[in-house]
Amino acid sequence: MAQESFKVLIAGGSLVGLTLALVLEQAGIDYELFEKGDLAPQLGASIGLHPHSLRILDQLGVWPDIEKTIIPLHYRYHFDENGRCMEESRVLQDIHQILTYPIIFMERCEALRIVHSHIANPSKLHAHNGVVAYDETTDGVVVTTADGNPHRGDILIGADGIHSRVRQLMAEKIHQTDRVASEKITKAFTSEYKCIFAVSRNDPASPFLPDATVHNVYHSQHSAVAASGVSGLVFWFLFVKTPLTTTPSCPRFTDDDANRLIEEYATVAPGPGYTIKDLWEARVKGSLVPLEEGIVPQWSHGRVQLLGDAIHKVTINAGLGGNLAFEGISHFSNSLTSLLQQSPSPSLEQLTSLFQNFERTHRPRATTVLGVSGQITRYEAQDTGFLKFAAKHLSPWVPDIWKAKLYASFSNGAPHLDFLPLKEQEAVQRSAMTSTGYLYPGLVLTGAAVVAGAAVVWRGFRLSDATLS
């Protein structure tokens, strides 16, 4: 469909912003994107993509190019603080077989490059020209960018990350009439863990771990994971518990902070034969960041809608945060395309209804993922005696196929793009999954079983009941 009279302005050229731009382009909806830095920069370490995100990227024609660059993850080993293998799992293989798409890790910059390469009209993308202000008019919204120029559109999407400028501007406008609501927006996130995330060379002659493999190690108040999802590289993370903080007071860390943390945890071994210090010395890139958790209470105001990390942030142990952003793109785009088919020039009232419908649809999923991710982080860091017992004595007894089927119910509960066709085998698979009953709402949280096992499954059911009641 062609909706060139309606225009979307996008703030942020991250994976969320670029993917949304590609979706709008394929839907025939006009847009312009503004990014304060480079497009597809050599920044960030890695991105983990799950089957429900790969399904969307396949609809957009992107997955075949990604598939050429990655090695699907198939083997997972869980170690205790003494280096004993508590569990050897093939659940990732079972997931790949059930869902037809694997779980993968890849360089974030490569994912950005590939998505960017699929945009047919790159003149719509404006680098080094971020949004600095916006004003609403009677029939649209006008953003001012760093170069001082105004740009008019019908709606503004804030896809500019955890430190969203658009969210800040929106909160300031809300503050004029509702100070309490504004403050809740600015203090929506907490942080109780910090994380070194890095990419290191994985010398084929003497690799830290074989290709297609994930190593997890569990310690008291800290944990680590390493994954070899691309030939010659290992993606790894060190998670450490810290005192609880709340935005905007969540700390920013320096390179010196990262080096000190590495020295403190230098002997931690994600897997046999290598340590955190070994990985750090072989790094290609690496940073220390706080792991924010939370969901912003208000996602839109007037003609402005937030998306991705600007509205929800989860801990990264399960790798579900970026995938939740892809789900948000689908939920929002499905609602927008449906509205524009009915009303090519929607009123403010119709747009308000659109934003409200997006939040009603997406917030329950965000709440689920926030709960699952937080449980997994605390499980891996052995936050309680029960979780430590579960990792060593419960999870290894849960069959991999059970975990894979439970995860499949979680993955298949995610949306896809309604206005683009699914691959034939994917459509058949989703139909079969639904008919066999894997999509019962009470099973949603058990996607945690892929990494956390029986303990998180049990706690997840309880959280799911509370969420859905």
Q: How far is CA 252 from CA 247, 255, 257, 336, in A?
A: 11, 10, 10, 36
Question: What per-residue confidence (pLDDT) applies to 449?
Answer: 37
The helix or strand, by DSSP H or E, that contains position 32, with its residue range, turns out to be strand 29-34
**Structure token pair of residue 84:** 């004993």
Per-residue burial over 160-178, b = 16 or more CB atoms within 10 Å of its CB, e = otherwise: bbbebbbbebbbebbeeee
Output helix, strand, coil percentages for the chain, rounded to the nearest 5: 45, 25, 30
Specify if 275 maps to a domain.
Answer: no
Specify if 44 maps to a domain.
Answer: yes
Quote the domain boundaries for residue 183.
Answer: 3-187+295-468
Question: What per-residue confidence (pLDDT) applies to 424?
Answer: 60
Per-residue burial over 190-206, b = 16 or more CB atoms within 10 Å of its CB, e = otherwise: bbbbbbbbbbbebeeee
Question: What per-residue confidence (pLDDT) applies to 430?
Answer: 54
Question: What per-residue confidence (pLDDT) applies to 28?
Answer: 96
Which residues of the chain are under the pLDDT cut of 50? Answer: 1-3, 434-469
What is the dihedral angle through the alpha carbons of 235, 19, 58, 447, rounded to the nearest 10 degrees? 60
Question: What per-residue confidence (pLDDT) applies to 289?
Answer: 95
Residues 6+ apart with CB under 8 A from 393: none
Specify if 206 maps to a domain.
Answer: no
Specify if 228 maps to a domain.
Answer: no
In DSSP terms, 233 is beta-bridged to: 201, 230
Per-residue burial over 424-448, b = 16 or more CB atoms within 10 Å of its CB, e = otherwise: eebeebbeebeeeebbeeebbbbbb
Question: What per-residue confidence (pLDDT) applies to 40?
Answer: 76
Specify if 27 maps to a domain.
Answer: yes
Specify if 252 maps to a domain.
Answer: no
Question: What per-residue confidence (pLDDT) applies to 426?
Answer: 57
Question: What per-residue confidence (pLDDT) applies to 43?
Answer: 67
How many domains, in total, are found in the chain?
Answer: 1
pLDDT in tens, 41-68: 766 689 999 999 999 999 999 999 999 9
Residues 6+ apart with CB under 8 A from 23: 60, 329, 333, 417
Specify if 432 maps to a domain.
Answer: yes
pLDDT in tens, 257-266: 999 999 999 9
What CATH number has the domain bearing residue 387? 3.50.50.60
What is the dihedral angle through the alpha carbons of 124, 127, 133, 138, rounded to the nearest 10 degrees? 0
Residue 406 in 3-state DSSP? helix
